[in-house]
Structure 1
Amino acid sequence: SKLNSRHALDQSAALVVAILDEARSLTLSSTGDSQYGVYFEDSRVVLFKGSTYSQSDLSNVVTELNALVGLRNVTLAGGGTSVVFKRLTGGTDQVGSVEIFLKASPETPRTVSVSATGVSNVDF
């Protein structure tokens, strides 16, 4: 149903924000004496430890998005597909956004934005 789809979209956008927030707070608390980041793929989001995403890292936490939604238009400063947070401030140089969209109606996406202070939010 349309309602279920809309719910899946909003839930997925909120989930991406929650994962970004988790990476930021892990960085600020210097968990494992490290910084953390989030890597974006078409259908999943990966929370990783360290300054660079490595697919083979066993500490990666992979979150598959709802099958009804996809991820596109990753537009981050520096041109990459990862947001990494800074140890002392929780800020990031990878300022930008990513779109989460319904595969059935891609014309009404949710945009998750990340600011220089490292704070993420959803724009409707």
Structure 2
Amino acid sequence: MQRAFTLLEFLLVVGIMAILVTITMPLALDFYRNQQLDISAKEIVQTLRRAQLKAMAVESDSSFGVYFEDSSYILFKGVSYIVGRDVQYDEIFSLSQIIKLSGIQEVVFSRVDGNPNVTGNIIVANGFENRTININPVGLINWQKETITIEIRRPTAHTNYSQRTTNPQNAYDSANGETFATTAYDFSYNPSITFHTWQLPSQSYTALVLKYRYHADGATNDRYAVAYSITGCSGVFTDLISPTSAAAPDTTVSVNLSPDQDLSQLCLKIYTQRTGGRDRKNLYTRDIWTEDTF
């Protein structure tokens, strides 16, 4: 007679399977992303070489080229994609949704010799790694792998002008956002508080993004706003969150900065506006940081 599974044994098996799925899913996702990246880079290189061979063979007595958009590319016949191409020869290739292109937008190969009209790089990215396709002056086309590394930098100090923010250090103490600074926005202060003296970079960056994570109570009339300056706390500020009374769930807003931005000059401020009677509502700053790619 065959023994049945007990409930405890069944739950143990389910638990082990759940653990295995938790461990293997990120690995599988990483494998998929990299596979899509390699496939896309190889297919782009093949398309570039096809366009070059068509031009060298003087097919249809014409030059051929490849035009790149954010998430697709087109092999075309003619001396330019925008002006004078023969659209009936267009071959359109769409990329996976996780793949994005940047760099050279158009390359045209000349008849007979197959030399490119531009040189440089086409960057194929999945948000975690890059593949760089290089076209040199004599028309050689190669690609290589590049890993994207992100460095996190945060402010290390604040100036609480209005004294209306409690636990201000919680705005930059942890990446998980479980702690937060609380700013009452029922009085008018500009600034109410500033965050500054950022951790300095350890590398030269290729991209830099300022991020602000928060949630907020909704008010009737009073308003809160968040702005940043790239020229210090006495410099000119640009709104990251324009003045608003709106309630907000856990939200992250961001802005791209120059990769060469001097972090010692980066400053973020909260300013508040009271209108009529006090609404007694709060803005909660969960985290402030930069994501710096190199």
Q: TM-score, normalised by structure 2?
A: 0.38
Q: 1:89 touches 1:117 (CA, 8 Å); kept in 2?
A: no
Map residues 102-113 of structure 1 onto 2, 5 A cutoff.
102=126, 106-113=127-134
- Runs of 4 or more, structure 1, over 2 Å off, are none
Q: Secondary structure at the match of 1:18?
A: helix
Q: Secondary structure at the match of 2:97?
A: coil
Which residue number in structure 2 is paired with residue 64 of structure 1? 94
Range that drifts further, 18-27 or 55-64: 55-64
Look up the SS of the partner of 2:89 in the other structure: coil
Structure number with higher relative contact order (C-alpha < 8 Å, ≥ 6 residues apart): 1
Match of 1:44 in 2: 72
Larger Rg: 2
Identity %: 29
In the alignment, is the contact (CA less than 8 A) between 2:76 and 2:86 conserved in 1?
no
Q: Is the 8 A contact 2:115 2:137 kept in 1?
A: yes
Taking the TM superposition and a 5 Å limit, the aligned residue runs for 1:1-124 are: 1-54=29-82, 57-72=87-102, 74-75=103-104, 81-102=105-126, 106-124=127-145
Instruction: Give the partner amino acid of 1:5.
Output: R
Question: Per residue, is there more strand in 1 or in 2?
Answer: 2
Q: d(CA) in 1 for partners of 2:112 and 2:47?
A: 19
Q: 1:42-92 CA distances to partner (integer Å, 9 max, x unpaired)?
A: 0001101010103882321110012221112x14xxxxx210001121111
Matched residues, number:
115
In structure 2, stretches of 5+ residues that fail to align are 1-28, 146-294
Q: Which moved more, 1:19-28 or 1:111-120?
A: 111-120
Deviations, residues 2-39 of structure 1 (Å, cap 9, x unaligned): 10110000110111101100000000111111110000
Q: Which amino acid aligns with 1:62?
A: I
Root-mean-square deviation (Å)? 1.5
Moved more, 90-99 or 37-46: 90-99
